Amino acid sequence: MSAFGLTIAATDGRARTGVLATRRGEIRTPAFMPVGTAATVKAMTPEAVRETGADILLGNTYHLMLRPGAERVAALGGLHRFMNWTRPILTDSGGYQVLSLSKIRKITEEGVEFRSHLDGSRHHLTPERCMEIQHLLGSDIVMQLDECPPSTAEAREIARATELSLRWARRCREALADEPGRALFGIVQGGLHDDLRARSAEGLIGIGFPGYAVGGLAVGETQADMFRVLEATVPRLPADKPRYLMGVGKPADLVGAVARGIDMFDCVLPTRSGRTAQAFTRRGTVNLRNARHAEDPRPLDAACRCPACRNYSRAYLHHLVKANEILGAMLLTAHNLTYYQDLMAEMREAIGAGRFEAFAQSFAREQALGDIAPSAETG
């Protein structure tokens, strides 16, 4: 069984590429984790997700504790067997979902009490119970329970939540026994306040974790604010440990965050967009609902290796979307996840070759061109 650890193969400025070893296989970094919130990546089979190039998936403690239940998943052999995914799984702690989905909740030193958004049933999630659930699920990367107030909250409220998250982090560390190849990540909080981010990072490093996440972003702040927080926070984190930016993001966010030293990402955007007719391409975002695609025989992206681009026209994808056929969501989700994985692979290659800055500039230029209509392409 492999020990957990990050090996850096190359750096280019603050950008870095390497391999993160876990008990269920290696993760190439920078890495994008498709979101399988409820033990499934929506509109995809596990085999299809793997074909996109994904090395690791994300599941969620909040959703899985409510349905089907962590104890049930454990009795059925753990999350990997339950969903037929043999490679690594990271589970988010559920703290953000408690705050965003539960209408009735109470946060105390002990933990958070809330009512399920599914049936109104009462639940109590403590740092210790959070660790127990993720252990039952069989997670390879476990996230601490934290409180994530909105970035628009008053500074004193964000400071209170940051200190509470630090105390919960210590309890999580004490509750989860070390196990070869498994890792618990601490989460840096602090909103848009550099001093609170510094305090959070310092406190987590003092506790000691195998990896560190930056939380509390991708919640409505500008990209400039996000990048500023990363520039102030990432250099404070240990260089030999993985750095995970939670819930991010758009392709340009990924490129900018990698440039600032981030190794791991997750986001619902590529899958959610696939179900709402939005496709990410090298020329920006394409809306397949638009009538201009109705008679377009071209592939969505001629340079893409996904099934949608290899085998189907824009006209057919447009038809599927307009007819509300499930296949449309499946093909566009597969495309978006392939695009994201290929983007990560291109960044890994560029960092290894020492040309990341040139790659980032080329990426921005191509995105700015926008999708070209057939008449413009041939005229």
Q: Catalytic residue numbers? A: 92, 266
- To 10 degrees, the CA torsion angle through 166, 172, 178, 180? -90
* CA angle centred on 317, ends 313 and 323, rounded to 5°: 140
Question: How many other β-carbons are positioned within 10 Å of the β-carbon of residue 256?
Answer: 20
> Can you list the alpha helix ranges (DSSP code H) found in the chain?
46-51, 61-66, 70-75, 79-83, 95-101, 127-137, 155-175, 194-207, 223-233, 251-259, 269-274, 307-311, 314-322, 326-352, 356-369, 374-378
Residue type, position 316, single letter? Y
CB 229, CB 249: distance < 8 Å: no
Element (DSSP H or E) covering residue 21: strand 15-22
Provide φ and ψ at 115, rounded to 5°.
-105, 135
Nearest-angstrom CA–CA distance, 197 and 151: 12
- To 10 degrees, the CA torsion angle through 45, 37, 332, 362? -120
* SS3 call for 296: coil
CB 59, CB 90: distance < 8 Å: yes
Residues 6+ apart with CB under 8 A from 42: 271, 275, 329, 333
Provide φ and ψ at 10, rounded to 5°.
-160, 155
